Amino acid sequence: MNFELKTLTLAAAAKSSSDALIVLISDHFQAGKDPLSSLIEKALKAKDFSSKTGKVLHTYASPGVSAPKVVFLGVGAAKPADMKSAISGLTASLKATETKKLTVVSPELLSAQTLQALLVALAEGTYVYSTTKSKPSARSLSQVSLGLPSLTLELQSALKATVGLIQGIEFAKEWANRPANHATPTMLAKAAMTLAKSGAMSCQVLGPKEVAKLGMGSFMSVAQGSAEPLRFIVLKYQGGPKSEAPTVLVGKGITFDTGGISLKPPGQMDEMKFDMGGAASVLGVFKSLSLIKPKINVVGLIPACENMPDGMAVKPGDVVTSMSGQTIEILNTDAEGRLILCDALTYAERFKPQAVIDIATLTGACVVALGAIRSGMFATEDHLAQGLLKAGDEAMDLCWRMPLDDGYGETLKSNFADVANVGGRDGGAIIAAKFLHRFTKKYPWAHLDIAGTAWKGGASKGATGRPVGLLLHYLLSQQPSKASTSAKKTVRSGN
Q: How far is 462 from 478, CA to CA, in rounded Å?
A: 31
Q: Is 160 a catalytic residue?
A: no
Q: Give me the CATH code for the 172-476 domain, please.
A: 3.40.630.10
Q: Is 264 a catalytic residue?
A: yes
**Each residue's pLDDT tens digit in the chain (495 positions)?**
899 999 999 999 999 889 999 999 999 999 889 999 999 999 999 999 999 999 999 999 888 999 999 999 999 999 999 999 999 999 988 888 888 999 999 999 999 999 999 999 999 999 999 999 998 888 899 999 999 999 999 999 999 999 999 999 999 999 999 999 999 999 999 999 999 998 789 999 999 999 999 999 999 999 999 999 999 999 999 999 999 999 999 999 999 999 999 999 999 999 999 999 999 999 999 999 999 999 999 999 999 999 999 999 999 999 999 999 999 999 999 999 999 999 999 999 999 999 999 999 999 999 999 999 999 999 999 999 999 999 999 999 999 999 999 999 999 999 999 999 999 889 999 999 999 999 999 999 999 999 999 999 999 999 999 999 999 999 999 988 654 333 434 555 555
| pTM greater than 0.85 | yes
Q: Which of these, 30, 24, 31, lies nearest to 52 by C-alpha position?
A: 24
Q: How far is 348 from 249, CA to CA, in rounded Å?
A: 9
Is the domain spanning 2-148 CATH 3.30.70.890? The answer is no
Q: How far is 278 from 19, CA to CA, in rounded Å?
A: 38
Q: Which position among 101, 190, 264, 390 bears the catalytic label?
A: 264
Cβ–Cβ under 8 Å, residues 366 and 451: yes
Cβ–Cβ under 8 Å, residues 396 and 81: yes
Q: Where are the domains of the chain?
A: 2-148, 172-476
| Residue 24 neighbours by CB under 8 Å, 6+ apart | 73, 75, 78, 83, 86, 104, 105, 106, 107, 108
**263-to-212, 315, 336 alpha-carbon distances in Å:** 26, 11, 12
Q: Which position among 69, 252, 338, 434 bears the catalytic label?
A: 338
Edge-to-edge strand list for the sheet holding 20-25: 56-60, 69-74, 20-25, 101-105, 143-148, 2-7, 491-494
DSSP H helical ranges for 396-462 = 428-437
Q: State the pLDDT at residue 493.
A: 53
The three-state (H, E, C) secondary structure of 94-149, written as one string: HHHCCCCEEEEECCCCCCHHHHHHHHHHHHHHHCCCCCCCCCCCCCCCCEEEEEEC
Query: Does an H or E element contain 279, and which?
Result: helix 277-292
